[in-house]
Amino acid sequence: MKNEFTLAFNEVLEEKQLPKDIILKALESAMVSAYRRAVNASNAQHIEAKIEPETGKVLIYAEKEVVDAVQDDRTEVTLNEALKVDPQAELGTMVVVGNYPNDFGRVAAKPHAR
């Protein structure tokens, strides 16, 4: 059975008559902006979002510094975790790690107060 995201995504595709990749890129860009707001990330930090169109699951990729002990999980990752994504990772280097933020899609879609 199709989930809510797939149904809404297909409805937008039909209504707007735009290519699927254009809509996905726009949604992913919006997710990056929402993630930056949600975690108060710096514009200097490299962040990407990927959406699985079949499930609506959002994967956020964020550049983080490899450290001994994480003090800020928004910008830092332990060497053990970094080695899982980059076997060449060393303390002090930067790696891009991915995670599925819990309920991020739902939180990102909510309007925020100004």
Tell me the percentage of the chain whose pLDDT exceeds 70: 85
pLDDT higher than 60, residue 2: no
Q: Measured between alpha carbons, how far is 67 from 93 in angstroms, rounded to an integer? A: 8
The CATH number of domain 4-109, selected from 3.40.50.300, 3.40.50.1820, 3.30.1480.10, 3.40.50.150: 3.30.1480.10
Count of CB atoms situated within 10 Å of the CB of 57: 14
- Give, in order, the Cα–Cα distances in Å from 99 to each of 32, 40, 47, 50, 104: 13, 17, 11, 10, 11
pLDDT band at residue 1, thresholds of 50, 70 and 90?
A: very low
Break the chain into its structural domains and give their ranges: 4-109
Tell me how long the chain is: 114
Indicate the pTM of the whole model: 0.73
How far is the C-alpha of 29 from the C-alpha of 41, rounded, in Å? 15
* CA of residue 55 relative to chain centroid, distance: 15
